[in-house]
Amino acid sequence: ETGVTQSPTHLIKTRGQQVTLRCSSQSGHNTVSWYQQALGQGPQFIFQYYREEENGRGNFPPRFSGLQFPNYSSELNVNALELDDSALYLCASSLFMTGSNEQFFGPGTRLTVL
Amino acid sequence: AQSVTQPDIHITVSEGASLELRCNYSYGATPYLFWYVQSPGQGLQLLLKYFSGDTLVQGIKGFEAEFKRSQSSFNLRKPSVHWSDAAEYFCAVVTGNQFYFGTGTSLTVIP
């Protein structure tokens, strides 16, 4: 069974640029959630994708957007990067409507905005 | 609104000593509660979870947690800490499809 994978591991961008982060969900999972974890903080929910559509969103501006593909993998896109976007971005996959809501996390992508 | 509070930012224990990490939640209904551990540069690993039933739940690596509705708490415990337990620990409450995490407790284990 393959776990959740994310790419790239690390990324450095400059303010104003755009970035795309990728996530492959665990085998058998159909739901992907994205989280932002700033240094010294707990993860904050960005949004969730199920059946290729956004299925819930946290308190993040529209420049944070996402996609889910038919194979359940997902992308997180961030436009007009700001310095405060520097964080660890975590992807988590789960099986929707199982009742457990257990999410399995990937290792994360460390984004640095200069 | 749902929220999770972990009052201890950092805890230091000696190897072999017992451990208790505190977690308080705010949620109107019966919560789904989780404890995750994060090693440096890594993602989150599930230690244990509570949905319903027995209020004392057992997890991996010898951890357990007790749900106390009257205190809105879900504290994590381990009777004897190992050096490899040094990490960041996060408590989370789930509502619908969204996890709400606490700010974490950093655990240092000294020989």
Higher pLDDT, A18 or B30: A18
The DSSP output letter for A26 is P
SS3 content of chain A, % helix, strand, coil (to 5): 5, 50, 45
Q: What is the pLDDT of residue A97?
A: 64
Cα gap B104→A85, rounded to integer Å: 20
In degrees and rounded to multiples of 5, residue B61 shows phi and psi of 60, 25
Q: What is the pLDDT of residues B58-92, one digit of tens each?
A: 999 999 999 999 999 999 999 999 999 999 999 99
Q: How confident is residue B110, by pLDDT bands cut at 50, 70 and 90?
A: very high
Q: How confident is residue A35, by pLDDT bands cut at 50, 70 and 90?
A: very high
- Percentage of chain B beyond pLDDT 70 is 98
pLDDT of B96 over the 90 cut: no
Higher pLDDT, A69 or A102: A69
Average pLDDT of the segment spanning A5-24:
97
3-state secondary structure chain B: CCEEECCCCEEEEECCCCEEECCEEECCCCCEEEEEEECCCCCEEEEEEECCCCCEEECHHHCEEEEEHHHCEEEEEECCCCHHHCEEEEEEEEECCEEEECCCEEEEEEC
Q: What is the pLDDT of residue A99?
A: 56
B35 has a chain A CB within 8 A of its CB: no
- Percentage of chain A beyond pLDDT 70 is 95
pLDDT of B11 over the 60 cut: yes
Cα gap B14→B83, rounded to integer Å: 9
Q: What is the pLDDT of residue A10?
A: 96
Average pLDDT of the segment spanning A13-17:
97
- Using a CB-CB cut-off of 8 Å, the residues of chain A touching B96 are 56
Q: How far is A95 from chain B (nearest CA, A)?
A: 11
B96 has a chain A CB within 8 A of its CB: yes
B104 has a chain A CB within 8 A of its CB: yes
User: What's the mean per-residue pLDDT of chain A?
Assistant: 92
Which of B27, B93, B99 to mutate: most A Cβ within 10 Å?
Answer: B99
- Using a CB-CB cut-off of 8 Å, the residues of chain A touching B102 are 42
Q: What is the pLDDT of residue A27?
A: 87
Query: Which of A60, A65, A72, A70 minimizes the C-alpha distance to A24?
Result: A72
Q: How confident is residue A100, by pLDDT bands cut at 50, 70 and 90?
A: low
Which of B32, B46, B97 to mutate: most A Cβ within 10 Å?
Answer: B97
